[in-house]
Amino acid sequence: MLELTSNDFSFISAITMLGTPAEIYVFGTQYWMIGFSYPFVVAATAHIYLPVYYKLQAKSVHYYLELRFNRAVRIFAACKLLKCKVARD
């Protein structure tokens, strides 16, 4: 079974929850398409990506990148994620 951390669930922040009504007010109801697409994206992820990770016993995407490519790619991806996380806060 894959281990999930709090980091896996932190992409929908309080700022997102507070900012969504303003986005809908400014840009209209087209913003709802994002919410409408979530079930399809979750289903595609569950049926395409997760079986690959489970079969390889990969605990993270970064570990998969190291298996698939090399350590340099894993470190690059980890640095990009860290940069995004720091820039977001």
Q: How far is the C-alpha of 30 from the C-alpha of 34, rounded, in Å?
A: 8
pLDDT values of the chain reduced to their tens digit, one per residue, 89 residues: 445 555 555 556 677 778 888 888 888 888 788 878 888 988 998 899 889 989 999 988 899 999 999 999 999 999 999 998 888 75
pTM of the model: 0.56
C-alpha closest to that of 35 among 8, 15, 9, 12:
12
C-alpha closest to that of 11 among 88, 76, 87, 63:
88
Residues sharing a CB contact under 8 Å with residue 24, sequence separation 6 or more, in sequence order: 31, 32
Task: Please name the residue ranges forming H helices in the chain.
Answer: 14-27, 32-44, 50-56, 61-68, 71-88
